[in-house]
Amino acid sequence: MFFRKVLGKCAWWRLWAVKMKPLVLPSPLPTSPFSLRHRPPRRASPRFPTRFSLHSKTIAADDAAPRAEYKPGVFDDLFLNLFRSKMVKEVGWDSEKPGYDGLIEVAHRLMMKGSSNSDTRDAAIRILRSLFPPFLLELYQLLIAPIGEGKLAAVMVARVTALTCQWLMGKCTVNSVDLLDGTSCQSGVFVERCKYLEESKCVGICVNTCKLPTQSFFKDYMGVPLLMEPNFEDYSCQFKFGIHPPQPQEDAALKEPCLEICPNAIRRREVVQNTELAQCPKA
């Protein structure tokens, strides 16, 4: 009786084992060289590697990217085209190059057209005046310039200059200026790196088509004194509205030598075989 029960139990276990065979885990994959050689490669999930590779390329591109520069917008292009058209009308010649490069070539032609530096400055002043509607300059000088001893007018033109002239000079910001009466106001404009000077590569162009004509224009036609202080080493420039410029014989900018990359200086050195940097012939 006992053995019959044991045999019955064994038979039941054998039957259970047969029924459960499909649930038995498969044997491990073969590891012979032949099996591995013919085994299809395992494909990784495409999501993680793709995201990682794109992220890595972005980092590499950011590291290798040049320093960002000021990029002209829609209105800046309009200002550039307007200014260039006025300059072309004054010079009577236009460059075949588009955009800013063509503007610089016209500026060089403006320098060479005048028989003297005084003629070049007068021409630059006429260009500046032609950019404004009739009677606007006279009304500003009559109604705005006298308010608050000229401080309001100085602050206003500083903000307008920083807002509308970055296409010409590059990135610039409004800053504080110490006035002669001991007070200070936000009537300065600091140009981090003047594009006009850097592209023209000429002290004479900076002085005679920008610094001196602009100072005279604001003082004589808008009633706002202005002192411009260009730095010919790092190409920065400080505008000081509300400050009278010094006499020409005391202005340090007018005593600066030619830049080493100045095209006028290079041509002159080739002619006279002199490597010394004397004062720019057009300054």
Whether the CB-CB separation of 75 and 163 falls below 8 Å is answered with no
Q: In what order do the strands lie in the sheet with 237-241?
A: 172-178, 184-191, 237-241, 226-230
For the ranges 4-8, 146-150, 226-230, 250-254, the lowest mean pLDDT is seen at 4-8
> Taking all residues of the chain, what is their mean pLDDT, rounded to a whole number?
79
Residue-wise pLDDT tens digits, 121-139: 999 999 999 999 989 999 9
Residue that is written with structure tokens 């550039």 in the block: 80
Overall pTM surpassing 0.75 (yes/no): no
- Position with higher pLDDT, 33 vs 201: 201
Can you read off the two tokens belonging to residue 247?
């006499």
